[in-house]
Structure formats: C-alpha cells, structure tokens
Structure 1
Amino acid sequence: MGTLGRAAYTFGFWIRETGQALDRLGSRLQGNYFFQEHLSRHRTLMNLFDKVPEVDREAFVAPSASITGNVHIGRSSSIWYGCVLRGDANSISIGTGTNIQDNSLVHVAKSNLSGKVLPTLIGNNVTVGHSAVLHGCTVEDEAFVGMGAILLDGVVVEKNAMVAAGALVRQNTRIPSGEVWGGNPAKFLRKLTDEEIAFISQSAINYSNLAQAHAAENAKEFDKIEFEKVLPKKSTKPDEEYDSMLGVVRETPQESILPDNVKAPKASA
C-alpha cells in the first residue's frame, strides 16, 4: 500500500472512530435528557391522591418551595425558598400573616409511640425561622419558632410563646404563653418581656410586607428581567423602604456627621 493509500486508510479509520464516539455522546446526552425529563421536574404545588393544596391568592410561595397534598395556606402568609410542606398522611393548616422561612420543613404524624394521628396546625401571624422542623404539632397565633428549632409530635406552642433557636422540643410538650423555651431538650428559660411580645407581632408584619416585594419580582416575565439589566443601576444607598419593612434603623457613622458650621462639598459636574 502506497503512502497515499495509507493516508486514506488512516483518515477513514479516524472518521469511523469519531463517528462512533459522537454516537456514544449523543446517546449519553439523550439518556441524560430522558433522566432529567422524568426525574427532575420540580412542582411548587403538587396534588396527592385526592388532596389539593389550597393557597390564598394573596399568599406568597417561593418558586423553589414544595407544597404537597392536604395543605392550606391563608391570606398574606409566606412560604420561603427551599421550604417543604408535605401534607400526605394528614393535613397542614397555616393561618393568615404567617411566615415559614427558608429551608424549613413542615410534616404531619401518622404513627408514633403514642399511636396518635396528628395534623400540623400553625396559627395567624406566626414566625417560623430558617431551617426549622415542625412535625405533627400546633403553633398558636403570634408565636415565634427560632431558626433550626425542632418541634416533635404533639407539641403545643401557645400564643405569644417563643421557642429559641436550635431548641429540640420533645413530644407532647406544651410551651405556655409568654415564656421562652430553649435547649436540647427544651426547657423553660424565662418570661418574655412586653417588648419581645410586641416584636413577635412586628416580625410577622415585616415578613408579610417583604413577601410582597419577592412576589412582584418572581412574577416578572423574562423579557422584563432582561430589559431591567440594561437600565442604569439604582443608587447604592440603603433602601429606606426596604429597611422599614424589616424594622431596620441605620445610624449615620459619627465620623460622617459634619459640624453645623461646615457645609457638604458640592458634587462636581
């Protein structure tokens, strides 16, 4: 075989091998596409059996939340990013003006040591902090559950009571109104002050207001989002309206306060 023949043979072999490699890649991509199509379909609201989630039109549910089955969410409540509310074995009820913050889990009890079948009931104007776990329990109106707290089956948190961050509240524990409980297992720490009780109500209002801003942003269509990218950026100064929603008061640093006899320099043209 001459030089030209060997070159043609080598080129043909390369073409054949490349074609087979592309076929294998195509099959792999098609398989991945099939896998994603059938196993990675996130649904924010999902029916289960004959149970359908009921969400008030004025409630905010983040797009990455998962709400399944027999779940009721009242007006002006907010379910934040990454939350899971699974009403499969029983029901979950959330009142008005309540916020369930990011990555929290709410489930129900079908079987436990006491043999009780328990729903999860959360009242009005309740704040549930980030990454909390509520399981087959009751949280009454204007109560506060701190970040990372765990409430087990049969727990009752009375109105204007507070569970401290990271607390583990054992089965069938009742936390009386006006008290703070914390620790593992959770125990009575002290009485709440009047200011702290007022803070619980204000926290719920702040989150209800903030949820409206998130709902408006999530409702924007793709074209509007892309258009806003080319607009001049807003001032980097603190947003007073946003601060007001969160109850934040920003103080001007002492070194930035000019004496009365000194005028601020004019901005250059």
Structure 2
Amino acid sequence: MGSLGSWESHLQLSRHLTLMNIFDKAPVVDKDAFVAPSASVVWYGCVLRGDVSSIRIGSGTNIQDNSLVHVAKSNLSGKVLPTMIGDIMLLSVSHSAVLHGCTVEDEAFVGMGAILLLDGVIVEKNAMVAVGALVRQNTRIPSGEVWAGNPAKFLRKLTDEEIAFISQSAANYTNLAQVHAAENSKSFDEIEFEKVLLRKKFARKDEEYDSMLDVVPDNVLPDKAEKALKK
C-alpha cells in the first residue's frame, strides 16, 4: 500500500473477491445475476460455501444480507447433501438466515434469522419458515403452511394474501438488485465525477461536508471537474 503515495487513503474500489475458485472448480454465475461486492459468491455480507458439495440458486431468488448457505458432507446418514434454493420462480431468503444441506422450492419464504439446519430439510412451494425458526433434520414443510419455533412446528395455514406477498417481495428484491448492480458497475472515474456534481449541488456546504464525501480538491479529476462546474 505504501507505493500508492497520496492515493493511499482515497481508494474507492473494493478489492474484495466476490467469486473464488476451489481448486479446479469455479462458481457459475448467470450474466443477468447480481453478486454484491461484499458478498462471497449474493447480497451484502452473504457467504455461499460450496466447497464439499454443490449449491444451486434458481432464477429470481434473492439471498439477503448476512445469510449463510452451506452444504453437508458428514452427517448421521452418511450422505453428501447439496443445497438447492428455487428453480425458476421467485423466492426470498431473509436477512441472517442459515441454510445447510437443504432444499427450498419455488415461491417459498425463509424468515429473518431462520436456521434450516441438520440436513435434508425440504421447504415446499408457497411455504413459509417464520423469523428465528430452527428446522430439524429431514423435516418437510408442506405447501401453504407456516412453521415457527425452536424446534419448528406447524403454526397455521398461509392466507392467499400472504402467498401473493411472497412472490411480490421477491420481485421487489430482484428489481432492487438491478439498481445495485448498476451502481456497483461504475468505474473509478465515474465515481469521482459524480462526487464533483454532488459537491456542486450542495455548494453551500463546508469543508467538513467535503471530507465526508471524500472530495479532496487535489484528487478531483481536473478535466471533468472544470466542465461540471461550468454547467
């Protein structure tokens, strides 16, 4: 880092590896999918660990902040179990959920902090795992049901409105991911140029405001800054 000189404290682009090979195996990401910069191969702070078996995530599925998706190699049954999340329809895995060697079918919903642990769990289409639930090994959650608690048990049937919400919520996240993808694809020059425009918009702000934006006069791109300030 020392060789970067005055730029040392002004680096803007993440050096984090979103996709990492495991020996001769590499993650396969569809060209239309968005992998957040701070994710380890799907939204911010997520980890998908597919080193001892495979993980498959279907189209329209969103894995939210700080979730962990893992696979199973050693268990009582002796089976190596992949984790399968969705196929072709909208599905949401909420914040800080843990999925381990399980299958979650299309248009299902996994609540915040839920743990689909102890391999072999199946969450059927249009089923919901409630916030903070712990689902035991080899449990099957039938379509149209809400399961909650520790250990998770049948709570009630989903209403038609709740089933519709599952798909709508997933669609909202899919649209939001496209916005994040566009922002994260910007180059260093584009980021710096937008800072100049932002500084012009809030021209009455003081030097402290500039420093919060990390806009330092010596580091503004001269050619673009001059054009921007003339507008």
> Is this a same-fold pair by TM over 0.5?
yes
Aligned partner of 1:263 in structure 2 is none
Aligned residues between the structures = 185
Q: Give yes or no for the alignment of 1:176 onto 2:150.
A: no
Tell me which of 76, 80, 86 is aligned to 1:113. Answer: 76
RMSD: 1.6
* Cα distance per residue 1:108-145 (max 9 Å; x no partner): 00011222210000113110000100000000001000
Residue 161 (structure 2) aligns with: 195
Give the Cα separation in 1 of the matches to 2:91 and 2:25: 25
Listed as ranges, the gaps of 5+ residues in structure 1 are 1-28, 31-40, 68-78, 235-269
Deviation at 1:42, TM superposition (A): 3.6
Question: Residue deviations 1:199-248, cap 9 Å, x none?
Answer: 000011100000000000000112211221232559xxxxxxxxxxxxxx
- 1:62 aligned to 2:36? yes
For 1:150 and 1:114, locate their aligned partners in 2 and report how far apart those are by CA, in whole Å.
20
Measure, in 2, the Cα distance between the counterparts of 1:188 and 1:182. Answer: 7
Q: State the SS of the aligned residue for 2:192.
A: helix
Paired with 1:47 and 1:225, the residues of 2 have a C-alpha distance of: 29
Counterpart Cα distance in 2 of 1:181 and 1:143: 12
Whole-angstrom distance in 2 between the partners of 1:58 and 1:218 = 14
Q: Does 1:135 align with 2:100?
A: yes
Structure (1 or 2) with the larger CA radius of gyration: 1
The unaligned stretches of length 5 or more in structure 2 are: 4-14, 203-231
Structure richer in strand, relative to its length? 1
Which residue does the alignment assign to 1:99? 62
**Separation in 2, partners of 1:194, 1:221:** 45
Cα distance in 2 between the residues matched to 1:171 and 1:118: 12
Deviations 1:66-115 (A, max 9, x none): 12xxxxxxxxxxx2001100111100000000000011000100011222
Distance 2:58 2:170 in 1: 12
1:225 aligned residue (179, 191, 212): 191
- How far apart are the structure 2 equivalents of 1:102 and 1:180? 22
| 1:176 alignment partner AA | P
Q: Is the 8 A contact 2:122 2:140 kept in 1?
A: yes
Residue 46 of structure 1 corresponds to 20
**How far apart, CA to CA, are the structure 1 residues paired with 2:24 and 2:139?**
33
Equivalent-residue separation in structure 2 for 1:217 and 1:43 (angstroms): 17
Structure 1: which amino acid aligns with 2:105? Answer: E
Distance 2:165 2:57 in 1: 20
The within-5 A match list for 1:1-269 is 42-67=16-41, 79-123=42-86, 124-152=89-117, 153-232=119-198, 233=201
Q: Alignment partner of 1:225: what SS?
A: helix
Asked which structure has the greater RCO (Cα within 8 Å, sep 6+), the reply is: 2
In structure 2, C-alpha distance between the alignment counterparts of 1:231 and 1:61, rounded to whole Å: 28
TM-score by length of 1: 0.66
Distance between the aligned counterparts of 1:49 and 1:120, measured in 2?
20
TM-score by length of 2: 0.77
Aligned-partner Cα distance in 2 for 1:43–1:62: 10
Asked if 1 retains the 8 angstrom alpha-carbon contact of 2:16 and 2:37, the reply is no
